[in-house]
């Protein structure tokens, strides 16, 4: 638990950006509130580590299993044409992966996804539908 890390604090700031779906082996899956890429999630390594090199081999293996599991579920539910994955976090170094389904000829297809354009927010009910279906598949 690191101070001034919103992933560790897991409070208002985190909730303003994403909705918890469920926990996996060593990570937590969130639905990104900005759903301009349908199905976009964040996978957070639970402990405060800042790079793959800081994980033990066992943690690294478990995180990779969690990531693959999420990839399988998003492919099944959303049928994207590609999934983009990114670990940035220069300023928020807690290890987390942006998992971003991309759709052919749709938003930012063929280029990196960016967050500098208008967000697409859903209604509480719409969020709940997406969270529930992803959770159901992850837990099955």
- Site for a copy of itself contains 65 (CB under 8 A): yes
- Site for a copy of itself contains 114 (CB under 8 A): yes
How many residues in the shown chain lie near a copy of itself by CB under 8 A? 35
C-alpha distances in angstroms, 134 versus 5, 26, 39, 92, 116? 26, 18, 9, 25, 26
Supply the minimum distance, in Å, between the C-beta of residue 132 and a copy of itself.
21
> In whole angstroms, what is the distance from residue 95 CA to residue 85 CA?
13
If the CB atoms of residues 108 and 122 are measured against a copy of itself, the closer one turns out to be: 108
* Residue 78: how many other CB atoms lie within 10 Å: 17
Give the single-character DSSP code of 107: T
Three-class DSSP category at 126: helix
Supply the minimum distance, in Å, between the C-beta of residue 129 and a copy of itself.
22
* Contact residues: a copy of itself, CB under 8 A: 50-53, 55, 57, 60-61, 63-65, 67-68, 71-72, 75, 81-91, 93, 102, 104, 109-112, 114
């Amino acid at each position: 638990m690191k101070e001034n890390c919103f992933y560790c604090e897991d409070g208002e700031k985190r909730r303003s950006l994403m909705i918890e779906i469920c926990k996996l082996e060593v990570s937590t899956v969130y639905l990104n509130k900005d759903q301009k890429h349908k199905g976009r999630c964040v996978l957070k390594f639970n402990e405060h580590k800042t790079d793959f090199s800081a994980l033990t081999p066992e943690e690294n293996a478990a995180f990779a299993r969690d990531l693959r599991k999420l990839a399988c579920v998003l492919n099944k539910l959303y049928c994207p044409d590609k999934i983009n994955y990114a670990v940035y976090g220069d300023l928020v170094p807690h290890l987390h992966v942006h998992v971003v389904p991309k759709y052919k000829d749709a938003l930012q297809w063929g280029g990196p996804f960016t967050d500098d354009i208008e967000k697409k927010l859903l209604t509480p009910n719409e969020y709940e539908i997406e969270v529930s279906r992803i959770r159901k598949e992850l837990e099955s």
